[in-house]
Amino acid sequence: MALISDQKFSTFQNGGDLVVGDIIVGLRGGLNTRFNYTAPSPVDSITGTLNQVLANGSSGVPVTGSVILTTPQDIAPTSSPVFNNITLTGELIFGDEGNIALNIADVPNAVNYASITNSETGLPVIYSIRGDDADIEAWFVSKGTGQIHMISDALTQPFSILNGTSHQHKTTFAFANTMQNRVATFQDADGTLAFLSDIPGVTPSALTKVDDTNVTVTLGGTPATSLLQAVSLTMGWSGTLSGTRGGTGVNNGASTITLGGSLTTSGAFASTFTMTGITGVTFPTSGTLATTAQLPTPAALTKTDDTNVTLTLGGTPTTALLQATSLTLGWTGTLSGTRGGTGVNNSTRTITIGGNLTTSGAFNSTFTMTNTTTVTFPTSGTLATTSQIPTGAALTKTDDTNVTLTLGGSPTTALINAASLTLGWTGQLGLSRGGTNANLTAANGGIIYSTATAMAVLAPTVTTRNILFSGGASAPAWSTSTWPDTVAINSILTATSANVIGAIAPLASAVLISNGSSVPSMATTLPANLTIPTPTISGNLTFSANTAGIAGIINAASKAAGVEGEILSGVVTGSIAMTTATPINIVTLSLTAGNWLVFGELWTISSGGATLLTNVVAAINTVSATLPGTPATGSARVQAAFPTPAASAQIPLMTVGPAVIRVSGTTNVYLVGYSEFTGSAVGGYGKLVAYRFC
Residue 626 has pLDDT above 80, yes or no: yes
* Predicted local confidence at residue 53, as pLDDT: 39
Mean pLDDT value of segment 525-552: 75
Question: Quick one: average pLDDT of 275-303?
Answer: 77
586-600, 603-617, 631-645, 669-683: which is most confident:
586-600
Q: Is 248 exposed, middle or buried (0-12, 13-18, 19+ CB in 10 A)?
A: middle
Least confident of 284-293, 519-528, 653-662: 284-293
Q: pLDDT tens digits for 209-229? A: 898 877 888 988 888 887 777
pLDDT digits (tens, 9 = 90+) for 52-62: 334 444 455 55
Instruction: Please tell me the distance from the alpha carbon of residue 446 to that of residue 22, in angstroms, as a whole number.
Output: 77
The answer to whether 657 and 635 have CB atoms below 8 angstroms apart is: no
CB 601 within 8 A of CB 668: no
Asked if residue 648 has pLDDT above 60, the reply is no
Reported as a pLDDT band with limits 50, 70 and 90, residue 27 is: low
Statement: residue 621 has pLDDT above 90: yes
pLDDT for residue 388: 74
Helix (H, G, I), strand (E, B) or coil at 248: coil
Residues 112-121 have a mean pLDDT of 89
In contact, 447 and 458? CB cutoff 8 Å? yes
The average pLDDT across 342-367 equals 72
pLDDT of residue 43: 36
Query: What is the tens place of the pLDDT at every residue in 246-262?
Result: 677 777 766 666 666 67
Distance CA 487, CA 506 (A): 11
Model pLDDT, residue 74 = 55
Separation of alpha carbons 676 and 582, rounded Å: 8
| More reliable by pLDDT, 386 or 650 | 386
Residue range 445-481, pLDDT digits in tens: 899 999 999 999 999 998 899 899 898 999 999 999 9
Quote the pLDDT of residue 211.
84
Q: Which of 662, 586, 663, 682 is nearest to 626 (CA)?
A: 586
Across the range 298-304, mean pLDDT stands at 82
- The Cα–Cα gap between 672 and 627 comes to 7
d(CA 139, CA 644): 90
Report whether pLDDT(655) > 90.
yes
* pLDDT for 595: 97
Q: Is-contact 394 415, C-beta < 8 A?
A: yes
**Cα–Cα distance measured from residue 636 to residue 627, given in angstroms and rounded to the nearest whole number:** 9
Q: What is the pLDDT of residue 18?
A: 57
The confidence score (pLDDT) of residue 332 equals 72
As a whole number, mean pLDDT of residues 92-116 equals 84
In 378-526, DSSP assigns E strands to: 395-398, 419-422, 447-450, 455-458, 466-471, 474-482, 492-497, 500-504, 511-514, 520-523
Every domain of the chain with CATH number 2.60.120 lies at 554-692
The count of other CB atoms within 10 Å of the CB of residue 653 is 13
The pLDDT tens digits of the residues spanning 188-209 come to 888 887 776 676 666 788 889 8
pLDDT for 78: 66
Confidence of residue 597 (pLDDT cuts 50, 70, 90): very high
Average pLDDT of span 653-663: 95
pLDDT of residue 352: 66
Going by pLDDT thresholds of 50, 70 and 90, the confidence category of residue 690 is: very high
Residue 512 has pLDDT above 60, yes or no: yes
In this predicted structure, what is the pLDDT of residue 25? 54
On the question of pLDDT at 545 being above 90, the answer is no
Peptide bond into 200 cis (omega under 30): no
Share of the chain above pLDDT 90, in %: 24
CATH class of 554-692: mainly beta
Q: What is the pLDDT of residue 637?
A: 97
The DSSP code sequence of 23-63 is: ------SEEEEEEE--PPPPP-----SS---EEB-TTS-B-
Q: What's the mean pLDDT when you consider all of the chain?
A: 80
Residue 576 · residue 685 · CB < 8 Å? yes
Q: Return the higher-pLDDT residue of 91 and 607.
A: 91
Which of 190-199, 479-488, 508-517, 552-561 bottoms out in mean pLDDT, i.e. has the lowest?
190-199
Please give the share of the chain, as a percent, with pLDDT higher than 70. Answer: 81
pLDDT at 80 (0 to 100): 67
Distance CA(172)–CA(163), nearest Å, equals 12
Residue 574 CB contacts under 8 Å (≥ 6 apart), including other chains: 685
Q: Among 64-68, 229-233, 267-271, 628-632, whose mean pLDDT is lowest? A: 64-68
pLDDT confidence of 686, banded at 50, 70, 90? very high
CB 673 within 8 A of CB 586: yes
Structural contact between residues 678 and 606, judged by C-beta atoms closer than 8 angstroms = no
Mean pLDDT calculated for residue range 1-19 = 52
- pLDDT of 165 reads 93
- Most confidently modeled range among 107-121, 418-432, 514-528, 622-636: 622-636
Q: Please say whether the beta carbons of 200 and 229 come within 8 A.
A: yes
Q: Kindly state the average pLDDT of the residues 411-437.
A: 85
Rounded CA-CA distance 122/416 in Å is: 85
pLDDT tier for residue 586 given thresholds of 50, 70 and 90: very high
